[in-house]
Every structure is written in structure tokens, then in C-alpha cells.
Amino acid sequence: MIDAGTITLILVGGLVLLLAIGAPVSISIALPSAVSLLLIVGFDRGAITSAQQMFIGANSFVLLAIPFFVLAGVIMSNGGIAERLINLARVMVGRMPASYAQTNVIANAIFGTVSGSAVATAAAVGSTMAPMQKKAGYDPAFSAATNIASAPAGMLIPPSNTLIVYSLAAGGTSVGALFMAGYIPGIIWALACAAVVAVYARRHPELKGEPWPRLQVFLITLWRALPSLGLIVVAIGGIVAGFFTPTEGSAVAVIYALVLSFIYRTIKVRDLPRILYDACRTSSIVIFLIAVSTIMSYVMTYARIPQIIAESLFGWTDSKVVVLLIMMLVLLLIGIPLDPTPAILIFTPIFLPIAVSYGIDPVHFGIMMVFNLSIAVISPPSAPVLFVGAQVARVRLEPVIVRLVPFLLVLIAVLFVIVFVPQLSMWLPGLMGLV
């Protein structure tokens, strides 16, 4: 019988080595996990067990919500939705100092809500806002940093594919409860970014706001954006109210987004194959990651790795605060090279039992994890949203990273508040009777 220490070495060492040589994340997870399983159960049963675990991981009705929500996001990204939401954000901001930057923050929060993807939000909104801000005299590096920092709000504000993945990894934690729990932290994320922009604007008084629009203009802009915002009411409202499941809600979101785009005449029938291809490519990556991560979870459970880590932590300290800080630090560091999906799939089985033993609700812990990993996806040196945001703004990474530091410091401070004030996550689900 191979011991847990050897299995841990193979899993961790193999993952780090393969990532270091540039292997895809899915392969970096699958190969060490499969090798470990072969050593545990033998070569005759290892391949069959690996295939069975991959099938078990992908064979989930709730998991169908991910490709549907991805498809809805791709349709909206191509359907002229971003422009309408940006216009709504502009009239909401009005004469606020650095109004274009504040518009970027609000537009990212709104568009992230309907797209569910930080990368898609940074690309769609940033590509529109960056030229406008440059023309208005904004520092391009600051504009890019604002776009990057505010883009992950959509990972918290539903519909969030990341929260769906956590629900699967956490053994079926209510998706509706997680969706409701994400609203307040997501809004706080956007407000924190807006506060940093406000401080920057005080030091740059030349960045004046636009005149407040006439009431008629505001109402017209709001009317044009309302159908896009209706996706939130239809899909999320239906899920929370119990009219349909998360998977059914995601299918409704696709139909709603497609009909809306045809009404706007921004998508034609000939565009559908390309849209479907983009959605399938993104979805297949996520689902394959979930499938191979199931092998790793099986191996870790078999070798009692989560229990050993929990016993080690309990033996070193019995302080809830210290244990939470350790977990948050690990997630923040590991989330920089890893995408949120594999990070959640790997560390939820390890950390969630420890958190529950300290009386932390699984819903609250899920928001803590996603908030933490949302910071990681914008953190240098290898965060995906960082690269996309710099690319659409056409600026080098180095000056963007310098401008991004104040945002990161404020968001890390907010993370501590989210971790140690659970009411911010649990109030809405409790109000709805979901927890």
C-alpha cells in the first residue's frame, strides 16, 4: 500500500512540474492523478477507475448550467448588449470626477452580471471604454487597471459559473443560496474599485465629469438597457423563486439572450455557428477540467490527504482566525497560476471540511473562496484578466501593474471583511429562506 506522503508528492510535484514546463492545466491535473491511481489500485484497474471517475465528474445535471450560461454570455457579448449597458452606466455616473473610469467600473459590474465571466467582461467593456478614456486624457495604464480590477465582480454577482463549480465540488451546496450570497460581496467589490477611482480623481482634477443628462435622455437610455437587465430577473429570479432549476434557468437565459439579440438585429443566423463554436470551446475546457479534477479528488480522498492536512492544522493551531488566514493565503497564491475552476475543484475537498468543523457555513465559505480567487485572477504576474485588460487597452503590463496595486490592496482589505463578517454573505440567502 503506497503511503499518503508519496501520493501527495506525486500529485503536487507533478502538478507544479507540468505547469512549469507549460503543459495545459487539465493535463497537469490529469497525469499525476492517473499515475497516483495506478499506483494505488494497480495497473489493471487504474485506467478503468480513472475513466469511471471522469464520467462521474461530468455526469451532473447541474453541470449543464455552465455551457448554457457560457452560451448566453457569448450571445450577449456579440449582441450589442455591452454598448447599451455602458450607456446606462454613463448616465448614472454623470458629473462624478473621473466619470469615464467610474463608468467602466459600473459597466463591468452590470455586464459581468449578465455575462458571468471576468475575462469576457474585461474584453467587451474595456475595448469600448479604453479609446474613450484615452481621448479624454486619461492615463492609459490607469484606465486598463480600472477595467482589470472591476471585471471580476461578475464572478460573484450571478449568474456565476464559478459558484456553480463550487456547488459541485462542495457536494451539492444550493446554487440558489450561493447566487443570493454573491450579490452583496459583488456589489462591495465594485464599490471598492469606485472608491479607488474617486481617490485618484481627487489627485487629478482635470478629469472632470460630463454634465448630468436631461431626464428624457436618462429615461430613454434606461429603457434601452432594461431588456438586457431583464435577463437577471428572468433567469436568477426564476431560480431563486423555485420556478425552475439552475440548469433550466440557464437554458431560459440562452433563449432570452438570443431573442433579444435578434430583436436588436445585432446577430444574424449566419453568426450562430461561430457563436456556438466559441461557447463550445469555452465550455469543453471547463467540463474537462471538472472531469479530470474528479480523479484527483478521488485519489486525495482514498489517501486521506484532506484529513491529514486538517489534523496537521489542528495540531499546529486551534485558532479559527489563523486557520482561515492560512487557507486564504494558500488560495490567493495558488489562484495566480491556476484558473479558478481547477483551484476550486482541488481545494474545496481539502478546505471545506476544515471550515465546517469551525462552524463556517458552506455557502459563506464558497463566497470566501470565489472572492479570494477573483483577486488572484487580476494579480501579477500570470493572471488571465490582467493580460486581457492590458491587451485591449494596448498598453504594456509594467505600468498597468503599478496602477493596479492600490486596487489590489483595497480588495484584499475587503476580503478580510468578507471572511470575518459572514452576515454580508448570509443575509440575503437567509432572508429568502435558502439557508
- 321-353 residue pLDDT tens: 888 888 888 888 877 767 788 888 888 888 898
pLDDT value at residue 113: 75
Q: Residues 309, 11: contact at Cβ < 8 Å?
A: no
pLDDT band at 434 (very low <50, low <70, confident <90, very high): confident
Separation between Cα atoms, residue 252 and residue 69, nearest integer Å? 9
pLDDT value at residue 211: 67
Sole residue written with cell 456579440: 78
* Averaged pLDDT score across all residues of the chain: 84
Query: Is residue 302, in this structure, part of any structural domain at all?
Result: no
Mean pLDDT over 304-325 rounds to 75
Instruction: Give how many domains the chain has, as a whole number.
Output: 1
Please give the residue range of the domain that contains residue 215.
63-267+309-431
Query: Is residue 273, in this structure, part of any structural domain at all?
Result: no
Sole residue written with cell 479604453: 130
pLDDT band at 85 (very low <50, low <70, confident <90, very high): confident
- Nearest CA to 258 out of 65, 68, 79, 69 is that of 79
Query: Is residue 381, in this structure, part of any structural domain at all?
Result: yes
Does residue 149 register a pLDDT over 70? yes
pLDDT value at residue 91: 80
Query: Is residue 58, in this structure, part of any structural domain at all?
Result: no
Q: Residues 394, 140: contact at Cβ < 8 Å?
A: yes
Residue 381 burial (CB count, 10 A)? 10
Does residue 263 register a pLDDT over 60? yes
83-118 as b/e: b if 16+ CB within 10 A: bbbbbbbbbbbeebbbbbbbbbbbbbbbbbbbbbbb
Query: Is residue 56, in this structure, part of any structural domain at all?
Result: no
Query: Is residue 41, in this structure, part of any structural domain at all?
Result: no
**Is the model more confident about 225 or about 116?**
225
Separation between Cα atoms, residue 255 and residue 72, nearest integer Å? 8
Contacts of 261 (CB under 8 A, 6+ apart): 75, 76, 78, 79, 80, 81, 267
Range in 63-72, 206-215, 249-258, 277-286 with the lowest mean pLDDT: 206-215
CA dihedral 233, 344, 52, 173 (to 10 degrees): -50
Q: What are phi and psi of 86, to 5 degrees?
A: -65, -45
Mean pLDDT over 147-156 rounds to 90
**In residues, how long is the chain?**
435
Helix (H, G, I), strand (E, B) or coil at 301: helix
202-223 as b/e: b if 16+ CB within 10 A: eeeeebebeeebeeeeeeebee
pLDDT band at 209 (very low <50, low <70, confident <90, very high): low
Mean pLDDT over 114-125 rounds to 76
Separation between Cα atoms, residue 129 and residue 142, nearest integer Å? 12
Separation between Cα atoms, residue 192 and residue 13, nearest integer Å? 37
Q: Residues 336, 382: contact at Cβ < 8 Å?
A: yes
Contacts of 163 (CB under 8 A, 6+ apart): 156, 175, 178, 179, 182, 366, 370
Query: Is residue 16, in this structure, part of any structural domain at all?
Result: no
**Please, how many CA atoms are within 13 Å of residue 220, restricted to the half-sphere of its CB?**
5
117: its cell numbers = 465571466
201: its cell numbers = 480623481
Give the rounded distance of the alpha carbon of 309 from its chain centre: 26
What is the pTM for the complete model shown?
0.81
pLDDT band at 183 (very low <50, low <70, confident <90, very high): very high
Contacts of 203 (CB under 8 A, 6+ apart): none
139: its cell numbers = 492615463
Separation between Cα atoms, residue 355 and residue 95, nearest integer Å? 45
Query: Is residue 382, in this structure, part of any structural domain at all?
Result: yes
**Please, how many CA atoms are within 13 Å of residue 49, restricted to the half-sphere of its CB?**
20
pLDDT value at residue 404: 94
pLDDT value at residue 365: 95
Find out whether the peptide bond into 159 is cis, omega within 30 degrees of 0: yes
36: its cell numbers = 497516483
